Amino acid sequence: MSVTATSRLSEPGGGFAGLLNRWGLPAPLVLGYLGLLLFMIGDGVESGFIAPYMADNGAGGEIHASYVITVYGVAVMLASWLSGALSELWGPRRVMMVGLAIWVIFDALFLGVAVAGQSYPLMLVFYGIRGFGYPMFAFGFLVWITAVAPKARLGAAVGWFYFAFTGGLPTLGSLIASFTNPVFGHYGTLWLSVGILALGGLICVFGVRERTGYQRLAPPEVKPVQSLVSSVSIAWKKPRVGLGMIARVINTAPEFGMLVFFPTIFANQIGFGEGRWLLLVSVIYGTNIFFNLIFGVLSDKMGWRNTIFWFGAIGCAISITLLYFVPIALGADYYWVALLVGALYGATLAGFVPISALLPSLAPENKGGAMALLNLGAGAAAFVGPAIVSVFLGPVGAAGVVIIFAALYLVAAVIVRFLKLPEEAGETAAKGAGSRAASTATR
């Protein structure tokens, strides 16, 4: 990153740009945040109905549709890792442009060829390849943010990222679909989502003029294979970064896992019904959106590790336990209590937001590699959570799985205590050396 870019973003300045900077929203990137929101709205439009839609339009059943989603998930995980590594080589903006092109081209092929022709093999191919699109676009922009935002307000800048990210997927995307499906039908709504996403992508890649994202972030001597290898090898060269990736997996693995078996429990066993369960999900994610921003700003004041430890890891261990056991104990007549504990879980999930600021700061000389591992953890969570459910739901039941999830959050809390920044580790070592010297002097 150039000295010019650093100094410009380090000063709040005056006027509207200064106001944005004081809020932790980097003014040169503001159109990027707007574009990201629209992009993720377009991506999230399908989230509430795509699996059954594919099952009825060429996949031939729910199981085959789930295979398409699985292939898509593998692509998301790989692209989540590549977004950081390639941003080091190509620059974040180019990675974002590639992600945008992949999404639009292969979604058009999915809708215009695979769905229109009722071809299941082409569904697997086109929808699967499309999975490379959104992580390269969204996480490429996240790398751009971490490269230029001043360290003192990096937590807030990342909080704004997740405010836009989760605001679109699934929250506003699903809300738009609820209005457009009755008017345009599912097929028309899916085409509408392409337009919304393309508009957001164009605003982002052509509207943001901040120059750091236009250039490679790695030193000139770093070769492509070397960069890709370093984005993995950093896990053992910088063990704290590897631990941070594990904490990132734990962050959302229970979230993905609970969505596998909670719908049946809440809708049928407790008796809320599908409508009130969906409203509960909206409350969880709606709360999460705003607390992504709140904890992003708060973490810059009370410390990234402290925020993750207390509000994220410890908070989620408590809230996910309450989210299951309180409604089970009280029953359908106390739906309002379920909404409260759901909002609590959504808020505490946001306590992990500063990890996107913390991990690249643990390896300032290889931020792209650290972001690649962080993004890999985000993608892996989509597999780990459902895998835990599939393995343990039979032997230990729903309550046992929830306890496992709570225990994982406690493991994350332990991990976070080791994620000290280089200057914090130096201070600790200096204090230890001073104490030993004082002890030696008194003997």
Give me 350's structure tokens.
Answer: 């946001």
Assess if residue 222 is contained within a domain.
Answer: no
Structural domain including 141 reads 23-217
CA 77 to each of CA 318, 374, 377: distance values in angstroms, whole numbers, following the listed order = 28, 11, 8
Final residue of a structural domain among 152, 185, 217: 217
Domain for residue 97, yes or no?
yes
With the CA atoms of 194, 29, 132 and 246 taken in that order, what torsion angle do they form, in degrees rounded to the nearest 10? Answer: -130
Last residue of a domain, one of 217, 252, 268: 217
Q: Is residue 320 part of a domain?
A: yes
Are 324 and 189 contained in the same domain? Answer: no
The percentage of the chain sitting over the pLDDT mark of 70, rounded to a whole number, equals 92
Question: Which of 22-36, 277-291, 334-348 has the least mean pLDDT?
Answer: 277-291
Tens digit of each residue's pLDDT (9 = 90 or more) over 15-69? 777 788 888 889 999 999 999 999 999 998 888 788 888 988 999 887 788 888 8
3-state SS of 72-94?
Answer: HHHHHHHHHHHHHHHHHHHCHHH
Same domain, yes or no: 213 and 269: no
Tokens 């000389």 sit at which residue?
Answer: 365
260 in any annotated domain: yes
Answer yes or no: do 94 and 57 share one domain: yes
Tokens of 177: 């679909």
Q: What is the mean pLDDT of residues 109-138?
A: 96
pLDDT at 230 (0 to 100): 76
Mean pLDDT of 222-239: 82
Q: What is the C-alpha to C-alpha distance for residues 425 and 217, in angstroms, rounded to an integer?
A: 26
User: How long a stretch of residues is the chain?
Assistant: 443
Same domain, 278 and 344: yes
- Residue 249: inside a domain: yes
AA identity, residue 219: P
Q: Which of 163, 189, 217 is the last residue of a domain?
A: 217
Give the total number of structural domains in the chain. Answer: 2
Whether 8 is in a domain gets the answer no
In a domain, 14, yes or no: no
The answer to whether residue 439 is domain-embedded is no
DSSP-derived secondary structure for 275-294: HHHHHHHHHHHHHHHHHHHH
- 425 falls in which pLDDT band (50, 70, 90)? low
More confident residue, 51 or 155: 155
192 and 308 belong to one structural domain: no
CA distance 127 to 116: 13
CA-CA distance, 278 to 173, in Å (whole number)? Answer: 14
**206 with 296, same domain?**
no
Q: How many CB atoms lie within 10 A of CB 209?
A: 10
Q: Classify 210 as helix, strand or coil.
A: coil
Whether residue 139 sits in one domain with residue 78: yes
Q: Output the domain CATH number for residue 349.
A: 1.20.1250.20
Residue type, 148: V
